[in-house]
Amino acid sequence: MERLRYTLAVLVDNEAGVLSQVSRLFARKGYNIESLAVGTTDDPAVSRMTIEVLAEAEPQIRLLVNQLSKLFPVHTVKLLDQAHSVRRELLLVKVAAETPEARNEIIQLANVFRANIIDVTPEALTIAVIGEEGKNDALMNLIELHGIKELARTGVIALERGAATIDEDTKVRDEFDYGKNVR
């Protein structure tokens, strides 16, 4: 079956072992995590994970969400729709630039992509760029011609567009309708 790319925003207890519990669930249900970013939230007891995964379309992805919701350290799982969310990734790349011409060309490329040069040596440049994977991939493809020496990506983080927040999915007991929540 064809697998599509899904983005899950997950609020979890900020405790030791939670990451392995979440990642292990993907492994034992047969999913490979494409990208994973974790950080604290405004509540120090809660961390937010953004997980990108290739999965079959509904209802399969819904099963994964339900399994994830069942883990006790998990507060909320929100399936973020690519069209209705803003998504960003930070990419750091060290590029070979041994001649002034190469350096100039790379700097120009970086400017086009609104990337920053954050480290310079006579042999190499390090570029930082923030964007969606598509933009970052495009920059990488161009820079590859100069020779990528080293690369690091944070993985995507994402928020829903508009005023809605994940907290609305953090089910308040009175409002939560179990019967209807299963699609």
Partner 1 sequence: MRLTGARIVMECLLEQGVDTVFGYPGGTILNVYDALYDYRDKIRHYRTAHEQGAAHAADGYARSTGKVGVCLATSGPGSTNLVTGIATAMMDSSPVVFITCNVGESLIGKDSFQEVDITGITMPITKCNYLVHQADELADVIREAFAIARSGRPGPVLIDILKNATAEEADYERLPLEEQHRHGRLAQLLGRASHDMTAPEPDLADIDRLVELIKASEKPLIICGGGVVRGRAHEELATFAELVDAPVAITIMGAGGFNGRNPLTTGMIGMHGSMASNQAVDSCDLLIALGTRFSDRVALDPATFAAQAKIVQVDIDRSEINKNVQTDHHIVGDVRRVLQLLNERVQRKYNFAWKNYVFSFPTETKYSLAGDALTPKQISDAVARIAPWDSIVATDVGQHQMWVTQHFHYDYPGQLLTSGGFGSMGFGLGAAIGAKVSHPEKTVLHITGDGSFRMNCNELATVAYYDLPITTIIFDNRTLGMVRQWQTLIYDERYSETDIAKEPDYVKLAEAYGLSGKRVSNVRDFEEALKEALASGHGYVIDCAIDKDEKVRPMVQGGDPITQFILN
Interface with partner 1 (CB under 8 A): 17, 20-21, 24-25, 28, 59, 62-63, 66-67, 69-70, 72, 74-76, 170-182
Q: Given the complex with partner 1, which of 33 and 63 has the nearer CB atom? A: 63
Closest CB 46 distance from partner 1, rounded Å = 11
Sign of the alpha-carbon torsion through 127, 9, 42, 71: negative
Phi, psi of 136 (to 5 degrees): -65, -40
Looking at beta carbons only, is 60 or 154 nearer to partner 1? 60
Distance, CA of 32 to CA of 54 (rounded, Å): 7
Task: Using the minimum distance from each CB to partner 1, give the nearer residue, 108 or 181.
Answer: 181
Paired tokens of 73:
């350290």
Lookup: tokens for 168: 């609305």
CB of 56 to partner 1, least distance (A): 12
CB of 16 to partner 1, least distance (A): 8
Helix axis angle, 133-143 to 100-112, nearest 10°: 160
Helices 18-28 + 60-70 axis angle, to 10: 150
Min separation Cβ 96 and partner 1, Å? 41
Residue among 27 and 86 whose Cβ is closer to partner 1:
27
